[in-house]
Structure 1
Amino acid sequence: MAAPLPPESQFHIEVIKLLLQVATSDDRVTREEIDSIIDTARGFSVPLTELSALTRCLQEGLPLPPPNLGVLREDPKAVLDAVHALIAGDGHVHESEIEMARQIRELLGVAP
Structure 2
Amino acid sequence: MTTPPSPESRFHIEVVKLLLQVATSDDRITHEEIQHLVATARGMSVPLEELAAITRCLKNGEPLPAPNLGLLRANPGAAIEAARELMASDSHVHAEEIEMLRQLRELLGVSG
Runs of 4+ deviating beyond 3 Å: none
- The aligned counterpart of 1:48 is 48
- The aligned counterpart of 1:95 is 95
Q: Which runs of 5+ in 2 are unaligned?
A: none
In percent, how many aligned pairs have the same letter?
64
Question: What TM-score, normalized to structure 2?
Answer: 0.98
Q: Which residue type is aligned with residue 52 of structure 1?
A: A
Aligned-pair Cα RMSD in Å: 0.6
- The aligned counterpart of 1:66 is 66
Q: How many positions carry a matched residue from both structures?
A: 112
Shift of residue 3 of structure 1? 1.7
Cα distance in 1 for residues equivalent to 2:58 and 2:79: 21
Deviation string 1:33-73 (CA, Å, 9 cap, x unpaired) is: 00000000000000000000011110000101100000000
Q: Which residue type is aligned with residue 17 of structure 1?
A: K
Question: What TM-score, normalized to structure 1?
Answer: 0.98
Cα distance in 2 for residues equivalent to 1:54 and 1:6: 18
- The aligned counterpart of 2:14 is 14
